[in-house]
A and B are shown apart, each in its own frame.
Chain A
Amino acid sequence: MRFGSDSDQDPVLVSVSTTRPRLSLLFDSLRKKEKGNQNKSRRDEADRSIAPEPNLNPSEREIERRKKSNLFEEEIMAWQQPMDGSHASGSKAAAAVADGPGTQRTQYPYVTGSSIIALKYKDGVIMASDTGASYGSTLRYKSVERIKAVGKHSLIGASGEFSDFQEILRYLDELTLSDHMWDDGNSLGPKEVHSYLTRVMYNRRNKFDPLWNSLVIGGVKKGPKGEEKYLGMVNMIGTHFEENHIATGFGNHMAIPILRTEWREDMTFEEAVKLVEKCLLVLLYRDRSSINKFQIAKITTEGATIYPPYSLKTYWGFAAFENPAQGAVGSW
């Protein structure tokens, strides 16, 4: 189940540091003064910095006073970082709000995996991804498995922060183990795993310490109405849904149109592999963070199969690839 022992992990994957930034000291003193609607009032203050209100109550006046110090200004900046996954390196991105005093958690991803493609086919669900992981924008790791089996009936695939995915796998290991230990003939199906992960993801987002992933859960389980295929996803803010075909990350832009036109309910495994490979190839050409080493996995009533990685044949002779900047005004 593990990707490597703790000892051989890249030091950068260790995501908890114990520095206590001065900002949080300031923040704490503010919190004492102003119990209650922290978030809102700070946002209000940020707006007021454009046109200050003359009539302020004492606590607001205090904040106004503090705001004169640029430290507080910086903190507001940190809060207003867009959550789009862009690396806010060097800024005060990681605000110490996730935990109690003394702990600061990484709030932006370091090592990330790219898209996951998944779809239902005749006998079950097929899932595919490349095996790369980037350190920022550097293609740093070339063979990591981003698709794993969960229990007897499910597969999980993850885009986004790789260490967060490892933590999620640890949760799921614990969950399936304790489920198995009941030994009562009941077992968690893909729907239950998906719902559980939805709760975990949304809970962490509400602690302002999200698990920086988009997760895809696929599976097949025998229900009272016969075999039931399941495919769903949940992302770092807890948004979740079920679909017949799902693509995360860049795939959500590049692969979904292909899947929408070419997906059918009764595809054979071979047809499904072909469709998935088409999506992966488009992503390989267009997504700079994808690599030419892919892994395909399937889940049926027989169980999960994760195939060994392989490469696809590429053709770079297309006219658009020869001189990509041609016709793109303003680029170099």
Chain B
Amino acid sequence: MFRNQYDTDVTTWSPAGRLFQVEYAMEAVKQGSACVGLRSRTHAVLAAANKAASELSSHQRKVFRVADHAGVALAGLTADGRVLSRFLRSECINHAFVYDAPLPVSRLALRLADKAQVCTQRSWKRPYGVGLLVAGLDESGAHLYYNCPSGNYFEYQAFAIGSRSQAAKTFLERRFEGYNDYTPEQLIKDALSAIKETLQGEKLTSSNCTVAIVGRKDDGTVEPFEMIDVKRIQEIIDSMEAAEEAPAAEAESSSMQEEDKGTDAAPMDI
């Protein structure tokens, strides 16, 4: 009847050295709708695919502003995600109160990871069922972190989480090497393309995605974390589609080479 006798609480090891409850929590991240994040040296962009739970409901928010210099996108249990983003907000505001300066993103991500880790080592607790992409700005530039329910966290140039995020990851893997020098506009376009990959044929519109950006201008002034206006997203999507159609007709002759490239890209296997 029971699949597993080692998964009744988080702190019990399996003989193979695994913590099943933690792995289930990580599975919850994969159930949520997709989120992507990517960054250049100066800007970081978060994007999420919005999916309504039913025909009759609206979708849940997936991207949250934490402070002027940082924000998160989440996949998994949104309720857990809101608790964590409230925690992040209070950490940031307390730091700002004492030091009159924004909390460095690396320290923000670490505090979040420490909080998640505690839940993997207490028998009366459960891990958070949410994965967070933390994007932000500090004195060393723009940063993107992925925080996992297991308490692990990683820094990325670009990353995707959530359902069908594999397609987005494959897309990002092909292109991430140029991201450091991307303009904000280019970052947004790639974020939208990556989200589009996760939709599997469903049409990408401004109503089924959210995009947010934070960064620093060349003169050093901060562009605070901000959701991008729906109208502007639609304009960008339209321009992307127009660009896709135009060269597609012209480049049909060279499509042989394109296809070769497509098969070369190794599928990411995680």
Given contacts A223-B220, A224-B220, A225-B219, contact A186 B98 (CB under 8 A): no
Asked if residues A186 and B220 are in contact (CB atoms below 8 Å), the reply is no
B184 interface contact, C-beta 8 A: no
Docked Cα-Cα span, A182 to B111, in Å, equals 12
Contacts of A226 in B (CB 8 A): 220
Docked Cα-Cα span, A225 to B220, in Å, equals 5
User: How close is B98's CB to chain A, nearest CB, in angstroms?
Assistant: 5
Docked Cα-Cα span, A191 to B101, in Å, equals 8
Asked if residues A196 and B139 are in contact (CB atoms below 8 Å), the reply is no
28 A–B contact pairs at CB < 8 A?
Answer: A182-B106, A182-B107, A184-B104, A184-B106, A184-B107, A185-B139, A185-B140, A186-B104, A186-B106, A186-B138, A186-B139, A186-B140, A188-B99, A191-B100, A192-B99, A194-B100, A195-B99, A195-B101, A196-B98, A196-B99, A199-B97, A199-B98, A224-B139, A224-B216, A224-B222, A225-B219, A225-B220, A225-B221
Asked if residues A192 and B107 are in contact (CB atoms below 8 Å), the reply is no
User: How close is A140's CB to chain B, nearest CB, in angstroms?
Assistant: 35
Which residues of B80-107 are within 8 A (CB) of A? 97-101, 104, 106-107
Contacts of A184 in B (CB 8 A): 104, 106-107
Mark A189-211 against chain B: 1 for CB-CB distance below 8 A, else 0. Answer: 10110111001000000000000
Known contacts A182-B106, A185-B140, A191-B101; 15 additional CB pairs below 8 A are A184-B104, A185-B139, A186-B104, A186-B107, A192-B99, A192-B101, A195-B99, A195-B100, A223-B139, A223-B220, A224-B139, A224-B222, A225-B220, A225-B221, A226-B220
Which residues of B191-236 are within 8 A (CB) of A? 216, 219-222
Closest 7 CB pairs of A and B: A224-B220, A195-B100, A225-B220, A192-B99, A186-B104, A184-B106, A192-B101
Contacts of B101 in A (CB 8 A): 189, 191-192, 195
Residues of A within 8 A of B (CB): 182, 184-186, 188-189, 191-192, 194-196, 199, 223-226
Docked Cα-Cα span, A223 to B140, in Å, equals 10
User: How close is A171's CB to chain B, nearest CB, in angstroms?
Assistant: 12
From A186, A194, A196, A223, name the one whose CB has the most chain B CB atoms within 10 angstroms. A186
User: How close is A189's CB to chain B, nearest CB, in angstroms?
Assistant: 8
Contacts of A189 in B (CB 8 A): 101
User: How close is A316's CB to chain B, nearest CB, in angstroms?
Assistant: 46
How many chain B residues have a CB neighbour from A under 8 Å? 16
Contacts of B219 in A (CB 8 A): 225
User: How close is B91's CB to chain A, nearest CB, in angstroms?
Assistant: 14
Contacts of B106 in A (CB 8 A): 182, 184, 186
Docked Cα-Cα span, A286 to B189, in Å, equals 69
Chain A's closest residue to B106 (CB) is: A184
User: How close is B122's CB to chain A, nearest CB, in angstroms?
Assistant: 25
User: How close is B94's CB to chain A, nearest CB, in angstroms?
Assistant: 11
User: How close is A196's CB to chain B, nearest CB, in angstroms?
Assistant: 6
Docked Cα-Cα span, A196 to B222, in Å, equals 23
Docked Cα-Cα span, A195 to B101, in Å, equals 9
Docked Cα-Cα span, A279 to B222, in Å, equals 40
From B99, B107, B139, B219, name the one whose CB has the most chain A CB atoms within 10 angstroms. B99
Chain B's closest residue to A194 (CB) is: B100
User: How close is A199's CB to chain B, nearest CB, in angstroms?
Assistant: 5
User: How close is A91's CB to chain B, nearest CB, in angstroms?
Assistant: 36
Chain A's closest residue to B95 (CB) is: A192
Which residues of B57-76 are within 8 A (CB) of A? none
User: How close is A143's CB to chain B, nearest CB, in angstroms?
Assistant: 34
Contacts of A195 in B (CB 8 A): 98-101
Contacts of A224 in B (CB 8 A): 139, 216, 220-222
Asked if residues B139 and A192 are in contact (CB atoms below 8 Å), the reply is no
Docked Cα-Cα span, A196 to B96, in Å, equals 10
Contacts of B107 in A (CB 8 A): 182, 184, 186
Contacts of B138 in A (CB 8 A): 186
User: How close is B77's CB to chain A, nearest CB, in angstroms?
Assistant: 29
User: How close is B108's CB to chain A, nearest CB, in angstroms?
Assistant: 11
From B107, B139, B140, B220, name the one whose CB has the most chain A CB atoms within 10 angstroms. B139
User: How close is A136's CB to chain B, nearest CB, in angstroms?
Assistant: 35
Docked Cα-Cα span, A154 to B40, in Å, equals 31
User: How close is B107's CB to chain A, nearest CB, in angstroms?
Assistant: 6
Chain B's closest residue to A185 (CB) is: B140
